[in-house]
A = this chain, B = another copy of it.
Amino acid sequence: MTLHMISLGLGNKEDITISGLNAVKQCSAVFLENYTAIMNCSIKELEEFYQKKIILATRELVEKESDKILEPAKSENVAFLVVGDVFGATTHTDLFLRAKEQNIEIKIYHNASIMNAIGETGLELYKFGKTTSIVFDDNNWLPETPYNSIKENLERGLHTLCLLDIKVAEPSPENIRKGINKPEPSRFMTIQKAIEILKKIEEKQAEKIISDETLAIGIARIGAENQIIKSGTLKELAKVDFGKEMHSLIIPGKLHEIEEQMISTHK
C-alpha cells in the first residue's frame, strides 16, 4: 500500500492538516519520529486524538531497523509522523529513499516547520542565508561552524537561523564506545546555552561577530499557545527565561525599516 509521511506542524495536536489527519485514520500502523523534535503534548493525548496506537520511532529504529516501518507499508497503509515538516529542519530522506528502492508508494503531507514559521518574527524569509546548528560543547568539543555561517551571512547582510541541539534518549559517547545502548536523559539546548557557546567561539576567533551588544531574536516553542519571541541584545536575551524546549536563536543581518518595526513588537 502506501507509506504516508505526515508532518504534524509545530504547536499542538490540532496543528496537523485535515488531509494529514484523514491519512492517519486510514493507517494500520502509526509511527512517531521521536528524536529530532518533540510534540508539545503527550503521546497519550495524541493517541486519543487519532484513536490509534502510536509506536515511538527512535533514531535506531528509523536508521537501522527501517524495515519495521517499510515491510508493513508493502501491504498496508503506514503513517510516519514528524513534528514540523517531514523535509524541514531534519529531513527523512533516508527513509524516503529506502521506500523508493523497495517500490513502496509514498505520500507526503507538508506542514509548518521552524524553517518557515520564523517568518512570524518579522524577518523576511527570503533574506535568510544558510541555516546553522549549534551543538552542545560536551567534552570541550567546540565546532565553530555556526560562528562562520553567521559571519558569512552577515557579510552579505543576511539573517541566520541557529537551530539548537537536542538529544532525545541517546546513549552517551562513552556507552556507545562500550557498546552499551542505555539512553541518557533527554537534553535540549536553551537560548542561554547557545549564547554562551557563541561567545566562547568569539573568544577563540576574535573576529568581532558576537558581542553582548549583538541584536538577536530568541524563539521558544514557536506555534504553541505559550510560544515566546523576544528580541534584544544577547546580554538581554541571556537573562530571559524562555521556558521549556524547543528553542532557536536568530542573528539578524541588515534590517529593512519594516523588519525593525516588526522586531520592536517583540521587545
Contact = CB atoms under 8 A, between A and B. Distances in A.
Contacts of A109: 15
A91 B259 CA distance: 11
Interface of A is mostly: mixed
Nearest to A132: B126
Given A17-B17, A112-B85, A158-B130, A262 B93 contact: yes
A183 interface: no
Given A110-B223, A116-B116, A125 B89 contact: yes
Interface in A11-65: 11-12, 14-19, 21-22
A72 interface: no
Given A16-B17, A93-B122, A120-B87, A110 B265 contact: no
Contacts of A104: none
Given A17-B111, A110-B10, A116-B115, A265 B122 contact: no
B9 A119 contact: no
Contacts of A262: 93, 96-97
A171 interface: no
Interface residues of A, number: 57
Contacts of A116: 85, 87-88, 110, 112-113, 115-116
A186 interface: no
A152 interface: yes
A232 interface: no
A12 B19 contact: yes
B85 A119 contact: yes
B97 A119 contact: no
A120 B125 contact: no
B125 A258 contact: no
Interface string A72-100: 00000000000001111101011011001
9 contacts: A14-B19, A97-B258, A100-B265, A110-B120, A113-B125, A115-B115, A115-B125, A129-B129, A130-B158
- Leading 5 A-B pairs by shortest Cβ distance: A87-B119, A110-B112, A126-B131, A14-B19, A14-B18
